[in-house]
């Protein structure tokens, strides 16, 4: 695969805008592991190789186990996820596949008991942001493999 676009050189504002979203999400109060699981799941659905590489490495860097990562695309059939994580993954899939049901009332009713209105608002923004990142990365054909996660404080 050959990269197409270099946003940093061509239009640095693209990254600035997306980084502002990520900055908000980092301080919004949702658990980092939850956000990263949702980012990884959306990236699986969208087939974004760069983001799969990034979020897998980020999850491993914060101590996430291989079993949960290997099983993420079959999370409904696995006992490794909490009810809150399952709700977040349900919402992630509904918002990522928005054309397949417009995040139905049934899905909302299933997810809502696990999140406050603020948390669900933040989760929705997180899903929208990773979908935008996926589209930017796929369109630019950003080559996976070189990403290194930040060191995690002990």
Write out pLDDT tens, residues 109-146.
999 999 999 999 999 999 999 999 999 999 999 999 99
Question: Considering only CA atoms, which of 108, 118, 133 is closest in space to residue 40?
Answer: 133
User: 26 in a domain, yes or no?
Assistant: no
pLDDT band at 66 (very low <50, low <70, confident <90, very high): very high
Using CB atoms within 10 A of its CB, is residue 14 exposed (0-12), middle (13-18) or buried (19+)? middle
In the chain, the number of structural domains is 1
Is the predicted pLDDT of residue 153 greater than 70, yes or no?
A: no
> pTM (2 decimals)?
0.95
User: 104 in a domain, yes or no?
Assistant: yes
pLDDT band at 150 (very low <50, low <70, confident <90, very high): confident
Domain CATH number, residue 45: 1.20.1290.10
Q: Which residue has the tokens 């994580």?
A: 85
User: 20 in a domain, yes or no?
Assistant: no
Domain boundaries, position 38: 32-140
User: 93 in a domain, yes or no?
Assistant: yes
| Residue 65 near residue 77, CB atoms below 8 Å | no
| Residue 127 near residue 91, CB atoms below 8 Å | yes
User: 45 in a domain, yes or no?
Assistant: yes
User: 67 in a domain, yes or no?
Assistant: yes
Per-residue pLDDT at 152: 63
User: 120 in a domain, yes or no?
Assistant: yes
Write out pLDDT tens, residues 68-82.
999 999 999 999 999
Write out pLDDT tens, residues 5-48.
999 999 999 999 999 999 999 999 999 999 999 999 999 999 99
Question: Considering only CA atoms, which of 91, 82, 93, 81 is closest in space to residue 112?
Answer: 91
Q: Distance of alpha carbon 133 from its chain centroid, rounded?
A: 9
């Amino acid at each position: 695969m050959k990269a197409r676009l270099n946003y940093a050189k061509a239009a640095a504002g693209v990254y600035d805008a997306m980084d502002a979203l990520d900055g908000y999400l980092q301080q919004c109060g949702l658990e980092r592991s939850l956000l990263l699981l949702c980012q990884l799941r959306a990236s699986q659905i969208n087939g974004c190789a760069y983001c799969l590489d990034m979020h897998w490495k980020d999850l491993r860097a914060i101590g996430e186990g291989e079993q949960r990562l290997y099983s993420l695309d079959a999370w409904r059939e696995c006992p490794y996820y909490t009810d809150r994580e399952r709700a977040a993954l349900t919402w992630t899939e509904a918002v990522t596949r928005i054309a397949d049901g417009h995040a139905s009332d049934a899905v909302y009713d299933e997810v809502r008991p696990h999140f406050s209105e603020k948390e669900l608002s933040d989760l929705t923004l997180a899903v929208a942001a990773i979908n935008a990142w996926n589209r930017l990365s796929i369109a630019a054909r950003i080559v996976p493999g070189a990403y290194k996660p930040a060191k995690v404080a002990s």
